[in-house]
Amino acid sequence: MTTKGDTMTDGQLLIAGEWIPSAGGRVEEIRSPYDGRVVGQAALADTSDADKALAAAEHGAAVWRETPGHARHAILMRAAALIDERTEAIASLLSAENGKTITEARGEVGRAGDMVRLAGYEGTQLYGDTLPLDAHRGTGLDKVGFTLRQPCGVVVAITPFNYPSLLVLHKVAPALAAGNAVVLKPARATPLTALALARAFVDAGLPPGVLNVLTGSGGELGDALVSDPRVRKVSFTGSTAVGEHIARAAGMKKLSLELGASCPVVVLPDADVEAAAGAIAAGGFINAGQVCISVQRVIVHPRVHGDLLDALVPKVEAIRYGDPSQDGTGLGTLISEAEARRVEGALRAAADGGATLLTGGSGRVPSSLRRSSMTWPRPRP
């Protein structure tokens, strides 16, 4: 069994403050995308588990909204302190299940406690507004209007794989700070980090049902969660197609949808070419490029096109790739073999369409050719 303070999971869900198996008792192995080793197990929840989690959240929301702000703040501060204590263990877990380098994982989890503290503070600052009513005839001179901020109630949070700590806490911490209960559905590929963070909240004294975590198939759980009338807000980060589906299925609910991106970098003739090349190399390959604001297109003025490529290629080639758990590794793995094949196919299609491969694969091409050809920089495999 998982013991208090552990960052690993043993294939359980968090529902109503208890760590329990799924209704069907099913689990799946979570494997490292780097070497395939088993990192842990996650429960495969079904719609009956979703119903239990929503019922627990409905009760938790009623309790939590009546909990004084100072008491909510104190619990979140304890959770932040526990996350700080467990940073190295959670970072190692994140790196193992995600393939992100341990350096990047430490940076991500190292911010987690501060994110919870910031949310906790802001949760104590939820002031309303007042407004005079004598500006309108018939309202009277002796009346004043005012607003009070109230929790939504039950919030469903659905998070992606690429930042298993950061994006979970972007949703969970503010929702809890404002007095809401949360049902969290983390990415199927990276549920263990989310469970480790949830354990810190439970160990900090969060009342039962205020935070519930369901792991498993988004296709099986998603509609059951977002369409349920007990849910008053859905927060989702992921693809545009799934976001559109959620918008259709959710009905009359508050929605926060962070979808897709197309991030260009424009390099003008007066640019510092070395600085631009450094920023492009970093922005294009951090987290193996699996970032919604990663460098996706580079638009370069012809006058500095060749100079930029001459500066960029060696910077990309200098990125050390390999075992994500090693401190010196600068580039980890993609999240799955399917994603690796998708990227490989995209690069092949670009080359077939006339792009020039500058590094990796068949190697570099002469500088004179780079200056006149379409380019498609890529890391070595």
What are the structure tokens assigned to 366, written together? 């002469």
Closest to 8 measured CA to CA, from 36, 32, 40: 40
The answer to whether 263 is a known catalytic residue is: no
Residues 83-106 have pLDDT tens digits of 999 999 999 999 999 999 999 999
> pLDDT band for position 375 (50/70/90)?
very low
What are the structure tokens assigned to 186, written together? 């983390």
CATH architecture of 264-370: 3-Layer(aba) Sandwich (3.40)
Distance CA 7, CA 86 (A): 8
The residues pairing with 297 across neighbouring beta strands, listed in sequence order, are: 264
Please check the confidence at residue 372 and state whether its pLDDT lies above 80: no
> pLDDT band for position 172 (50/70/90)?
very high
* Cα angle for residues 110, 89, 93 (degrees, 5° grid): 95
- Sorted by where each begins, the domain ranges of the chain are 13-134+142-259, 264-370
What are the structure tokens assigned to 152, written together? 């939504």
Greater model confidence, 270 or 344: 270
CATH architecture of 13-134+142-259: 3-Layer(aba) Sandwich (3.40)
8 A C-beta contact, residue 72 and residue 120:
yes
DSSP letter string, 83-107: HHHTHHHHHHHHHHHH---HHHHHH
> pLDDT band for position 136 (50/70/90)?
confident
Four-residue CA torsion sign, 119, 121, 122, 128:
positive
End-to-end CA distance of the chain: 39
CA–CA distances in Å: residue 118 to residues 76, 79, 376: 10, 12, 41
Of the residues 28, 292, 339, 344, only one is catalytic, namely: 292
What are the structure tokens assigned to 35, written together? 């070497």
pLDDT of residue 9: 55
Report which residue type is found at 306: G
Can you tell me the mean pLDDT for 42-70? 97
pLDDT of residue 380: 35
The answer to whether 274 is a known catalytic residue is: no
Q: Bin 187: left if φ > 0, else alpha if -120 < ψ < 50, else beta.
A: beta
Four-residue CA torsion sign, 343, 277, 112, 86:
positive
Of the residues 88, 122, 220, 258, only one is catalytic, namely: 258
120 three-class SS: helix
User: Up-side HSE of residue 240: CA atoms within 13 Å toward CB?
Assistant: 4
Distance CA 55, CA 98 (A): 31
8 A C-beta contact, residue 180 and residue 206:
no
Please check the confidence at residue 378 and state whether its pLDDT lies above 70: no
Mean pLDDT over the full length of the chain: 90
Closest to 330 measured CA to CA, from 287, 276, 292, 290: 287
8 A C-beta contact, residue 208 and residue 14:
no
What single DSSP character describes residue 207? P
> pLDDT band for position 361 (50/70/90)?
low
Residues 181-203 have pLDDT tens digits of 999 999 999 999 999 999 999 99
8 A C-beta contact, residue 280 and residue 298:
yes
